């Protein structure tokens, strides 16, 4: 019993500390936004991936980095309207 409580409290702590880990009320849209933003950050942080994208797109590295930053604002489009609970 104590192991289950301990694991549950550790999971809650992890979810409160890191946004991308999600929680019980995380919507599909929020989860996808976190995934896309994490991917874009990884692409910008790895120099070789940035070089690969710049060669593949025939753009400068600065332009590719700028485009990735622009995509991070709303990577999955605007959020869906939440239904009103009446």
In-domain check, residue 61: yes
* Per-position b or e across 44-65, b if 16+ CB within 10 A of its CB: beeeeebeebbeeeeeeeeebb
In-domain check, residue 6: no
In-domain check, residue 21: no
pLDDT tens for 38-73 read 999 999 999 999 999 999 999 999 999 999 999 998
> How many domains does the structure of the chain reveal?
1
Q: Kindly report the pTM of this predicted structure.
A: 0.72
In-domain check, residue 66: yes
Q: Is the pLDDT of residue 26 over 70?
A: yes
Give the pLDDT score at 17.
76
In-domain check, residue 49: yes
CA distance 23 to 21: 7
The residue segments making up the domain with residue 59 are 27-72
In-domain check, residue 77: no
In-domain check, residue 53: yes
Give the pLDDT score at 58.
97
In-domain check, residue 60: yes
């Amino acid at each position: 019993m104590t192991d289950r409580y301990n694991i549950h409290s550790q999971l809650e702590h992890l979810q409160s500390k890191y946004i991308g880990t999600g929680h019980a009320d995380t919507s599909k849209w929020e989860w996808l936004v976190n995934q896309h933003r994490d991917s874009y950050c990884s692409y910008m942080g790895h120099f070789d991936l940035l070089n690969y994208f710049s060669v593949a797109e025939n753009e400068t590295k600065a332009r590719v980095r700028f485009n990735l930053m622009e995509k991070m604002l709303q990577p999955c489009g605007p959020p869906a309207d939440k239904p009103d609970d009446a």
